[in-house]
Amino acid sequence: MNENPSVAVLGLGAMGLPMAERLAETFTVRGFDIAPARLGLAAEAGIAPAGSAAEAATGAQVVLVAVRDSAQLADVLFGDAGIADSLAEGAVVVLTSTVGTEGVADVAVSLAQRGIGLVDAPLSGGPARAREGDLLIVVGAHPAALAVARPVLEVLASTLTIVGERAGDGQALKTVNQLLCGVHIAAAAEALALADRLGLDLDRTLEALQAGAAASFMLGNRGPRMLQAWDDEGAEVLSRLDIFVKDMGIVGAATRRAGLPAPLAAAAEQSYLLAQAQGLGESDDSSVIRISAPARRT
């Protein structure tokens, strides 16, 4: 195993770019994004920009793929401009996105037929933590593929959890994680909207809640941004609301395939869909509070 592999990052968006910046401190990194502006930012950060995904991937031992969904994953790997045939035998593709379990095993088989490994490694933490190497990464991968990718993953993660040896195991755990996160954000929004309508001081309310049994990471993290979401300029976009539209859709599909009733997840999904329908899809996900209370009263 090469402990200092060459790395490509495909997708230099909100998560891909800070991950590439973090990795460039340790590895030789090439990056590609369809948006020229993102390539420009990557070049400024010391990441070698490539003219295509295939160019970025050629010669790389580890290729991080940060895409929106399974359709984009299939396209970047096997589409007309896909990278699968540009990778050398023994290279690994690291899937960092949340795309759901369906189809991931088939992607792993298609890559394996070319001598390429798939490391299913969806992550959580947001852009700031990506830049600092403070991500939670859950992994499903064959041990041989994981061995190639591990030096890269360890630079990005403060918590690296191996959940299984099958591609799809990481997606399965991330689906469970997103169920909880999606419900927690929606519940925090309703709680703070109620506190506002009851005339409570919202800063003191947040402080009190975080000191007791009602505390949660999402309340502490999103709560202050929910108060900002009521302002004219809104909250800084650190996690787009339409990402939870996608992720809660993945949760819903998984629960239906499992024959599992999940009324809380379904209700949370409707909150995000309502917010998206009201034009908040590109806003921070804390803006879901505006479904319960369009404006602040206190």
Tell me which residues are annotated as active site: 174
What CA dihedral angle connects 80, 15, 203 and 193, to 10 degrees? Answer: 10
Which H/E stretch holds residue 115? none
Question: Which DSSP symbol is given to 12?
Answer: -
Question: Which residues are CB-contacts of 86 (< 8 A; sequence separation ≥ 6)?
Answer: 54, 55, 57, 58
CA dist 273 and 283 (Å) reads 13
Map residue 271 onto helix, strand or coil.
helix
Return the biggest CA–CA distance within the chain.
63
Cβ-Cβ contacts under 8 Å for 226 (sequence gap 6 or more): 188, 189, 192, 235, 286, 287, 289
Q: Is 266 exposed, middle or buried (0-12, 13-18, 19+ CB in 10 A)?
A: middle
DSSP state, residue 96: -
The pairing of beta strand 92-95 with beta strand 62-65: parallel
Structural element, H or E, at residue 80: none
Per-residue b or e along 15-44, where b marks 16 or more CB atoms closer than 10 Å to that residue's CB:
bbbbbbbbbbeebebbbbbeeeebbebbee
